[in-house]
Structure 1
Amino acid sequence: MQSPIPVLSMRKLYLGASDRQQFIADLGRAARDVGFFYLEDHGISLAEQVKVLDTAKSFFALSDAEKKQVQMIHSPHFRGYSANYSELTAGRPDRREQFDIMDELPALSASAIHHEWQKLIGPNQWPRQLPAIKSQLLSWQDKLTEVSLQLLAALCESLEQPADALAETISNGPYRHTKLIKYPGSPEASGQGVGAHKDPGYLTLVLQDENSGLEVEYEQQWYKVAPRPGAFVVNIGELLELASNGYLKATNHRVSSPKTGVTRYSSAFFMAAQLNASVPVLKLPSHLAKHAKGPTSDPGNPLLHNVGENVMKGRKRSHPDVSARFYASEEKCSSC
């Protein structure tokens, strides 16, 4: 089956007015019809992408004991290492190792915390065996943030809104989350690397190695998202579906485990509104609004307008071990 996923060149955004408008139109169409696209000419070199994947390989090559020193179970902020089958998607364990970082910030004092989601704010955990990883990944996160913010502004324009229509939701800096990921080979023909899901933020940028595994659902069929050297795979998140009242599309996707003897490495970057934001529903012109049927809703995983509450809900569902260690008493209290 021919892939429905379009290829966009970000270079057009900076050429003449005609090229720029063509890019914005193509971007809007991709976000509306598929919710996924390849992004080329984004300004981040192939060499730098390769270095990030090399860092992923170096991290996951550490001994189990070394990785457990930065295990997520030590972090109330949901940062650090998680082993195979530690994270749940749609209630089932994923077969992948991961290393998660977010913004590098001090944790808030107890007296400054008025909402549970404020406990997401805090420092990352860094393996001392890889002293360069901190500066490398924080710089990588900054660069992907810049690409994502430019895409967000262009998407607002594709909705015939001002480019800064959602600027208030990121005025203090967007919520950012980066993963290094290792998918080991599986003897199962369609083993769950990651179960089918939609991403909760504004935008996701995925860097893949040469091994396939990512799949997207389109018109009730699953299509492979083949690796494309130098390109990021970009997908629309639920917050953009919400902000556009369902005009833009957050699409189900999954990762199937590679076959036995093959290991797949990737890195995913997630950009959302700042944690204290409530995402507005933009007032679209009538010719677009008539196609906006409201965001899709999963009764088992409702989308919340408040970003911090939505992020915390997702982290606790995905990492029940961390939730049980740091948040179990609060859940008991809330049900008293």
Structure 2
Amino acid sequence: MEKMVSSWCNTVKFVPQDYVFPEDTRTEDQTVPILKNCPMIDLEKAVSGDRNDVIQQVLQASQDCGLFQVINHGVCDDLIKDTMEMSKEFFNMSNEEKASLYSLDPHKSCRLYTSSFDYARESIHLWRDVLKHPCHPLEEWVDLWPQKPSKYRDVVGKYSIEVRNLSLRILELIREGLELKPEYFGDEMKDVQMLVLSHYPPCPDPSLTLGILKHYDPYVITILYQGNMSGLQVMKDGQWVRVEPVANAFVVNIGQLLKVISNGKLESVEHRVVTNSKEPRYTIASFIGTRRDTIIEPAKALLEKDDCRPLYQAFSYKDFLQAHKEHRGEGEATLKVFKIEG
């Protein structure tokens, strides 16, 4: 527990050397521009308005940016607020109260850790603490979740269900837009849901550190709530730009698995997280993925409809995760392993 950034960061005036990243990987946040015209999609219109228009907005944003924000998404504002409060309460509990959850074992289902899943092998650490646990089906996992705060399991359980439902609604819009058959994203493709709560304490010199290294999400889709604190940056047109938070909006990231399934029609976004010196930042990310033995490949119906060849060979998700780990989250390098040449 003494390794947790939150355990010692208030006692230092300078960034420890093993948290200082090379100059070519870090950033001066003030010099990074805001992502202008970040796609903002009103999901309520998919029900009460022109559904096809919303589908086209989702597809366009997924092709151009690999991410978008959604409003009127159906997740209760009070539930979002309560879940964020649970996250803050958890991370601000004493080390003694959190110690039972702390582990360096990346295979532990529910665990509290610092930096990344592979802390022991890192030469430079990330400026963050993390609580990660599976949450679908809820009844299989909830008993492994934190017992404190006392309302954690109840509040976060309701949140995980609502955000999962939101993910499935967005996937359905994407399915319709790609003109894939109903239930294409069946149970197998959305069988896994992980919830990751992150705490980025104030840093004495944010220009030296990173909260998360640049990477692409190795999942189907990500739903992120970043509260009211900025820190998320994405690569757009060859430069890093900031994704500013919008009250009660969710950021939706297209995962690399969707890029493969769509045969490159949809783009996955490269992103990173920076730190700040003023306030702690808390985020909640929900990842929808699949089992390790699932076979991922371009949708055959899409290839037939467009009369085109597949860009990627079929592969198991287990093999994809191994390539993702070996290439440290680099998206193009990971997919190149499975790309069909010619």
TM tier, smaller: 0.7 to 0.9
- Which residue of structure 1 lines up, in the alignment, with residue 129 of structure 2? 97
CA offsets, 1:69-119, max 9 Å, x none? 11133673342111246656998532111111103679xxxxxxxxxxxxx
- Indicate whether 1:64 and 2:95 are aligned: yes
Shift of 1:185: 1.6
Distance between the aligned counterparts of 1:66 and 1:254, measured in 2?
Answer: 30
Report the residue type matching 2:181 in the other structure. P
**How many pairs were matched up?**
291
Q: Which moved more, 1:96-105 or 1:148-157?
A: 96-105
Shift of 1:9: 0.8
| Alignment TM-score, normalising by the size of structure 2 | 0.75
Shift of 1:129: 3.1
Identity of aligned residues (%): 23
- Indicate whether 1:138 and 2:157 are aligned: yes
- Which residue of structure 1 lines up, in the alignment, with residue 48 of structure 2? 15
**Contact 1:175–1:275 (CA under 8 A) maintained in structure 2:** no
The gaps in structure 1 that reach 5 residues or longer are 107-120, 296-302, 319-336
* Residues 224 and 206 (structure 1), Cα distance of their counterparts in 2 relative to 1, 3 Å cut: same
Distance between the aligned counterparts of 1:310 and 1:275, measured in 2?
Answer: 9
**Contact 1:304–1:310 (CA under 8 A) maintained in structure 2:** no
Shift of 1:273: 2.7
Q: Which moved more, 1:124-133 or 1:242-251?
A: 124-133
Q: What SS does the corresponding residue of 1:72 show, helix, strand or coil?
A: coil
**Contact 1:192–1:256 (CA under 8 A) maintained in structure 2:** yes
Shift of 1:123: 7.2
- Indicate whether 1:185 and 2:202 are aligned: yes
- Which residue of structure 1 lines up, in the alignment, with residue 186 of structure 2? 167
- Which residue of structure 2 lines up, in the alignment, with residue 6 of structure 1? 39
After superposition, the CA RMSD in angstroms is: 3.2
- Indicate whether 1:37 and 2:55 are aligned: no
2:316 aligned residue (301, 306, 309): 306
The gaps in structure 2 that reach 5 residues or longer are 1-32, 329-342
Shift of 1:312: 7.1
**Contact 2:296–2:314 (CA under 8 A) maintained in structure 1:** no
**Contact 2:142–2:157 (CA under 8 A) maintained in structure 1:** no
- Indicate whether 1:265 and 2:289 are aligned: no
Q: Which moved more, 1:142-151 or 1:69-78?
A: 69-78
1:28 aligned residue (42, 59, 68): 59
| Alignment TM-score, normalising by the size of structure 1 | 0.76
- Which residue of structure 2 lines up, in the alignment, with residue 300 of structure 1? none
